[in-house]
Amino acid sequence: MATVYVILLTLHNINRWLVLLTGVWTLVRTLPGAGGRRPFTAADRRPVVAFTGTVHLQLILGLLLFAFLGMQRAPVFAGAPNSGFTWQHVGLGVLAAVTATIGSALSRRAPTDQGKFRVATTWTAVTLLLVLLLIPWWRPLLRLFTA
């Protein structure tokens, strides 16, 4: 069963980089459009969808990891610098999934192209900030199927 933990932890670790990369990609595409008159095209929509998708995948992997450790009665984030880190991680992770979803939905519905850019920029920046705060930076930056 330890193998399941290592596989889930590795996927959760690697997908963290996809979350950060797609978030930066979204800002690079949407920030310049927020102040101009450029039309919001399919190429601008693509990173928003990819970012929301990676955040949702991270939430699912995190929930599976959390449930798995709970079933094994194993400690979560043993050795964390503060005792409340587990709930900080889970709470901000769920919140990040909510803000990414809201940003994607509101950007799609915004009546103007500039509005679509602005909404996508704002909610992506908020989500990225939450993600940067919740990441346990003391853990390995890249894990490749090792405990």
From residue 5, give the alpha-carbon distance in Å to each of 2, 52, 60, 72, 138: 5, 25, 14, 10, 19
Q: Any idea which residue has 């008159």 for tokens?
A: 37
CB neighbourhood size of 50 (10 A): 17
Q: Which of 11, 96, 119, 120 binds ligand HEM (CB under 6 A)?
A: 96
By beta-carbon proximity to ligand HEM, the closer residue of 12 and 46 is 12
Residues 43-82 contacting ligand HEM, CB under 6 A? 55, 58-59, 62-63, 65-66, 69, 76-77
d(CA 121, CA 128): 10
- Nearest distance in Å: CB 87, ligand HEM: 10
C-alpha of 83 from chain center: 23
Which residues contribute to the site for ligand HEM (CB under 6 A)? 9, 12-13, 16, 19, 55, 58-59, 62-63, 65-66, 69, 76-77, 89-90, 93-94, 96, 131, 134-136, 139-140, 143
